[in-house]
């Protein structure tokens, strides 16, 4: 899966699950498709699960580490 395909999957999941926050969506999809990166980002300042405001920095990090 490419980084662009990851973004598409995350945005599709968001549309299908509007109660899930954006940061949760990006993290959960990442954990599904790239568990290695999910493990690496979990608990760091770039972890978007609980903080939607870090999503832009998270996306930069994810693209760089993809």
**Residues 28-43 pLDDT 10s:** 999 999 999 999 999 9
What is the three-class DSSP state of 45? coil
- Whole-structure pTM value: 0.94
pLDDT tens for the 66 residues of the chain, in order: 999 999 999 999 999 999 999 999 999 999 999 999 999 999 999 999 999 999 999 999 999 999
Closest CA to 22 of 60, 44, 54, 63: 54
Instruction: Give the start-to-end residue ranges of the domains of the chain.
Output: 3-65
């Amino acid at each position: 899966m490419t980084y662009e395909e990851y973004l598409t999957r995350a945005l599709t999941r968001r549309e299908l699950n509007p109660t899930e926050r954006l940061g949760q969506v990006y993290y959960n999809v990442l954990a599904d498709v790239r568990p290695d990166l999910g493990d690496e980002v979990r608990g760091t300042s770039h972890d978007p699960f609980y903080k939607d405001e870090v999503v832009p920095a998270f996306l930069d990090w994810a693209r760089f580490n993809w």
